[in-house]
Amino acid sequence: MKVQVYCSYFLLLCCIGFFSCGTDTQNEQKENVATVDSVSHKDSVKSEPTADPISFDRTDDYTSRIIAGMQDGDTNPYKAVSEYTSWKKFAATMDSSWARVNRQRLGKMRNWSETELENLSATTVFYPFSGPDFIHATTFFPKADKYYLFGLEPIGDLPDLNNKSEKDVSAYCEAMQGALRDIFQRSYFLTKKMSADMPKINGVVPMICTFLVRTNHIVTKIQPLLLMENGQTMNWVGTASDSPKKLPRLVRIDFLDTDMRKPKSVFYYSGDLSDNGVKVKPAIKAFLDALPEGCVGYLKSASYLMHYESFSTIRNAMLGKCKAILQDDTGIAYKYYDSAQWNVQLYGVYTPPIEEFKGRFQKELDHDYKDSSRVKPLPFEIGYHWGTHKDNLQLATKK
């Protein structure tokens, strides 16, 4: 999420609208068909494989890997791009950054989630105010089938680097590296910085796809969608300019775990999910109402938006639909977790909010954190207090 005002309103739902992942040139390349058996990646999530491999077009996966700084053998149509000196430097930097964030944060999160979150059996993850942050959603909930993300950033599309000069490729890689810097270092995005970064990398789709392949997944399809007024989605093959103006646009990115071979999807919705935003887009309210009962919510670095009455619709949707919610203190205000309906486990250390949000101090939460019998340690850093080792999480589960 983000420190300044709302870093991307929520991420939930099913997939983005405009842009059909790929230019005409990319569409011509869509003859790179593979099965899961033909793809080999290390350290993927361990689970029982399905019986039959799944056939899919690898064009989007190839593109995702090249913009993530990953080479994928001589069959990759971006082999020429991977020979550029600037790309090799970018790939080395990405490898180093990814190794560091895995060592310092993600590895610890995975180990923690195996003990603290395993019993949640999360199949659907609802992550408002996420922006393109798939990385933490999949780290905490690796076995989920569907991830719904919401943000303010535009959807965008994957680039076609084969049609770019080495200078342009170098500029794109530099922009991607800059866009990822905060999520790697701080664990969240800065809203104002994201606004400047998005035009340079063409929206959130490249970032989500980068996180997918870097977390050992295979991108199989990117499908633009429209959200209908009844809360259902329909595929969209047009452009942003000719789509129905009143219908929200989304994107669905389908992917596979290499060991599981089980189709999964991440959906991203770009738009305002404040009460006013939902009011002018009634399809969003219909979608929230249609969410499955028993999903798992996740909130991080959410600018305390759901503390305000102007975000009551999304707050009530989460409290009503979720069987569990993992959040830091920037998510749903602690006072909304009725003790008659929720059990709340506290983790880490509660300290007053950072300067930008100093008015959001929660007396009730502070009181309960002072009872050491209610608090478990948090073995990693996450959220606005990065670098201080004074981070917090709360896990609320319905009774």
Residue type, position 319, single letter: L
- Between 193 and 78, the higher pLDDT residue: 78
**CA distances (Å), origin 339, targets 124, 328, 342:** 24, 18, 5
The answer to whether the beta carbons of residues 207 and 22 sit under 8 Å apart is no
pLDDT value of residue 190: 75
Cα distance between the two ends of the chain: 28
pLDDT value of residue 214: 95
Residues 328, 115: Cα–Cα separation, whole Å: 18
pLDDT value of residue 244: 65
Whether pLDDT at 392 is above 70: yes
- Between 193 and 181, the higher pLDDT residue: 181
> Cα 327 to chain center, whole Å?
15
* 91-100: pLDDT as tens digits: 999 999 999 9
pLDDT value of residue 238: 66
pLDDT value of residue 189: 78
pLDDT value of residue 282: 87
Assign 103 a pLDDT band (cuts: 50, 70, 90).
Answer: very high
H or E element at residue 288: helix 282-290
* 242-295: pLDDT as tens digits: 566 667 789 999 999 866 578 999 999 998 999 999 998 888 999 889 888 999
Helix axes 205-214 and 59-67, enclosed angle (nearest 10): 90
In the chain, what is the greatest distance between 2 CA atoms, to the nearest angstrom?
62
Residue type, position 217, single letter: H
* 167-188: pLDDT as tens digits: 999 999 999 998 898 888 787 7
Helix axes 85-101 and 166-185, enclosed angle (nearest 10): 10
- Percent pLDDT > 70 in the chain is 83
Closest C-alpha to 149, from 168, 135, 163, 165: 135
Assign 237 a pLDDT band (cuts: 50, 70, 90).
Answer: confident
* 35-79: pLDDT as tens digits: 443 333 333 334 444 446 677 888 999 999 999 999 876 667 888
pLDDT value of residue 7: 38
H or E element at residue 85: helix 85-101
H or E element at residue 359: none
Number of Cβ atoms within 10 Å of the Cβ of 300 = 24
pLDDT value of residue 38: 35
Whether pLDDT at 356 is above 70: yes
- Percent pLDDT > 90 in the chain is 61
pLDDT value of residue 398: 97
